[in-house]
Amino acid sequence: MNTFDTGTIGFMLLATSLVMLMTPGLAFFYGGLAGKRNILGIMIQSFVSMGITTIMWFVCGYSLCFSGDALGGVIGNLDKAFMSGIDLNTPFPGNHHMPEFVFIAYQMMFAIITPALITGAFVNRVTFKSYILFLIVWQVLVYYPFAHMVWGGGLLAKWGVLDFAGGIVVHATAGFAALASVIYVGKRRDVASPPNSIPLIAIGTGLLWFGWYGFNAGSALDVNSITGLAFLNTDVAASFAAITWLVIEWSMAKKPKFVGLLTGAVAGLATITPAAGFVSLPSAVMIGVAAGIVCYLAVHLKNKIGWDDALDVWGVHGIGGVLGTILLGVFASKAMNSTGADGLISGGSGFFMKQVVAVVGASIYAFLFTYIMLFLINMITPVKVPVEQEDAGLDEALHGEKAYDEGVL
C-alpha cells in the first residue's frame, strides 16, 4: 500500500506547471529581444522543444537520466525506456510520498527548457531543420549525461558535487553551448538589430521569474522548510541582481535601462539556481549582487571581443550558472540544509574544489561537443541560413508567416 501525500503531489504538480510556463516565457523574452523579422523564428524554437523533448523523454530520455548506471555512471541505462515498469503505485525513490509519474513530469520540464535557452545566441542565423537535429542530439549527448551524473545518482553525485536546480545541468551547459554556436555560425549581417518589443521582453521576464519558483523551490522535491528557503532565496537573488545591473548600467549609460533591469533579474535567477536550497538568505543577497556585477561584465566583454551572442545567453546563463555553482562551493552550509555540504566559508575547501572542477569541466565539454556537433550536422543539412533568407528575415523565409500585420501598425 502506497503512502502518497496529496499535499506533496499537489505542490509538485504546481511546480511542474510553473517550470512548463518558463518555456513560453523564454519564447516571449527572446521574441521581444529579436528583430521584427525574426520573432516567430526564435519563438518556434522554444515551443517545438516542448513537443520533441516530451516525445524523447517518453521514449528514452527519462530512463537515460534516472535509471541505473552505464559507462561508469556517466549516463543511465534503458531499463525505464517507454516508462517500462512504472505504474500508478510506483513511488518516486527520492520521496515515497509521491508517485514516480510526478517526478517524471517535473524533470521533463527541465529537459524542455535547457536546449531552448541556447537558441537566443544564434537568432536569425540557423535553419529550422538543423535546429531540430541539434535539439535531439544535444539532449542525448549533453543534457542527459549531466542530468544523470548530477541528479540521477551518477558519477558527479557520487563524487559529492551539488547542484540544487541546474547551475551545471542547465545553465552552464546551455550557456557554453550557446558560445560555441555563436563562434560556429558567425555574426549576423545586421548586428545592430534592435529589440522589436520591450513590453514582450517584460512579459517574458515576468513569466520566467514566476516560473523560477517552481524551478528552484520545486527542486526540494518535497514541501518543507528547504522549499521555503529556496523560494525566498530565488526572489532575493533576482531582485538584488536586477537592481545591481540597473545601477551599473545607469552609471555607465547615464540612463536607467528597462532591458538592463530585466536582464539583470534573469542573471540573478540563473546564478542562484544551483545554490537556492543550500545557502542562507544573506548568502543569496551576495550571490544576487555578484550576479549583477559579473554577468554585466561578461556581456560587456562579449561585446568588446565581438562575439555575436545576440541575446546574451553566454553572459547571463553560462556565466551565471558557473558563478552560482562556484559560489555554492563558497557559501553552502549544512546548518541551512543537512543534506548539503559545508562550503569554503564553513571550512569545506574540498567541496569548493569539486564544484569548480565539475562546472568548468561541464562548460568545456558542452562547448567542444556543441562546436563539433554543429560541424557534423552541417555535413547532413546546412546549419546557417543563406544570405538572402537572413536579409529577408526567417519568419517569412523559413516559416512563411509574419508576427504582425505591418499594414495595421
Mean pLDDT estimate for the chain: 96
Q: In this predicted model, what pLDDT tens digit does every residue of 297-310 receive, in sequence order?
A: 999 999 999 999 98
Q: In this predicted model, what pLDDT tens digit does every residue of 336-362 receive, in sequence order?
A: 999 999 999 999 999 999 999 999 999
Q: What is the pLDDT of residue 362?
A: 98
Q: How far apart are CA 163 and CA 179, in angstroms?
A: 22
Q: How confident is the model at residue 192 (pLDDT cuts 50, 70, 90)?
A: confident
- The answer on pLDDT for 407 being more than 70 is no
Q: How confident is the model at residue 408 (pLDDT cuts 50, 70, 90)?
A: low
**Contact by Cβ (8 Å): 81, 60:** yes
Average pLDDT over residues 268-280: 98
Q: How confident is the model at residue 22 (pLDDT cuts 50, 70, 90)?
A: very high
Q: In this predicted model, what pLDDT tens digit does every residue of 154-181 receive, in sequence order?
A: 999 999 999 999 999 999 999 999 999 9
Q: What is the pLDDT of residue 215?
A: 97
CATH of domain 6-402: 1.10.3430.10
Q: How far apart are CA 325 and CA 171, in angstroms?
A: 10
Q: What is the pLDDT of residue 148?
A: 98
Q: What is the pLDDT of residue 38?
A: 94
Q: What is the pLDDT of residue 189?
A: 85
- The answer on pLDDT for 2 being more than 90 is no
Average pLDDT over residues 40-57: 97
Q: In this predicted model, what pLDDT tens digit does every residue of 68-106 receive, in sequence order?
A: 999 999 999 999 999 999 999 999 999 999 999 999 999
Amino acid at site 395? D
Q: What is the pLDDT of residue 1?
A: 58
The whole model's pTM is what?
Answer: 0.96
